[in-house]
């Protein structure tokens, strides 16, 4: 037997979900980026605050790579790990910016070129997988930045699925989810565009 939920019930569910995961994930992603920026600044004297513009999206793309570094026995300090991740993040988001040259110089000085290339390769694989997923739901991708702009959605796709599974109005559900994510204060994508992407994701996984 299926139980369909009303708009008011959906709002209640979203409020509870927001307390436990939705906004929490967004803030966790942003916090990771902020910590990475501060650690690299303190340890290597590099100003990477530009990454905070895309804070949650940077975290969504880089945190899986951080886990890769932690679980594959790379012989490096925490500061070196953050330096490598910052280099990858800058290549993804600001590859034409002059700051990337300074980051790569520090990576070379630390003898981390091989590690950086390895992680960069993994990052590109993640990017391609996510880009393919967005393409299958007909989200228009005109540049790589369009892809990574939505990367903060990666850790909450399952949560989106659980919320919309029994909703009576997919469009309304998508708008409400988008509003909750925007309310976290760390998402830079516009509410209307985000709601449309979430609706397409929901249609694919429902």
How far apart CA 24 and CA 16 sit, in angstroms, is 11
In this prediction, residue 16 has a pLDDT band, given cuts at 50, 70 and 90, of low
DSSP code at position 4: P
Q: What is the DSSP string of 100-154?
A: HHHHHHHHHHTT-HHHHHHHHHHHHHHHHHHHHHHHHTT----SHHHHHHTGGGG
* pTM score over 0.85: no
Give the tens place of pLDDT for each residue, 93-124: 776 667 788 899 999 999 999 999 999 999 88
Give the tens place of pLDDT for each residue, 75-85: 899 999 999 99
CA atoms within 13 A on the CB side of 119: 32
Give me the phi and psi of 5, to 5 degrees please: -100, 150
């Amino acid at each position: 037997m299926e139980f369909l939920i009303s708009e008011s019930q959906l709002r209640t569910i979203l409020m509870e979900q927001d307390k436990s995961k939705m906004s929490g994930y967004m803030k966790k992603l942003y916090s990771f980026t902020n910590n990475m920026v501060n650690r690299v600044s303190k340890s290597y004297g590099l100003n990477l605050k530009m990454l905070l513009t895309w804070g949650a999206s940077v975290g969504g793309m880089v945190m899986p790579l951080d886990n890769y570094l932690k679980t594959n026995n790379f012989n490096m300090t925490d500061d070196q790990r953050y330096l490598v991740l910052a280099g990858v993040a800058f290549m993804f988001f600001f590859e034409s910016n002059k700051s990337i040259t300074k980051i790569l110089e520090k990576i070379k000085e630390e003898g981390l070129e091989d590690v950086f290339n390895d992680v960069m390769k993994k990052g590109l694989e993640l990017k391609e997988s996510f880009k393919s997923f967005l393409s299958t739901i007909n989200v228009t991708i005109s540049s790589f930045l369009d892809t990574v702009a939505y990367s903060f959605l990666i850790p909450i796709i399952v949560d989106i699925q659980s919320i919309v599974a029994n909703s009576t109005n997919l469009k309304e559900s998508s708008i409400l989810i988008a509003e909750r994510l925007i309310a976290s204060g760390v998402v830079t994508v516009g509410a209307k565009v985000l709601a449309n992407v979430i609706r397409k994701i929901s249609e694919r996984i429902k």
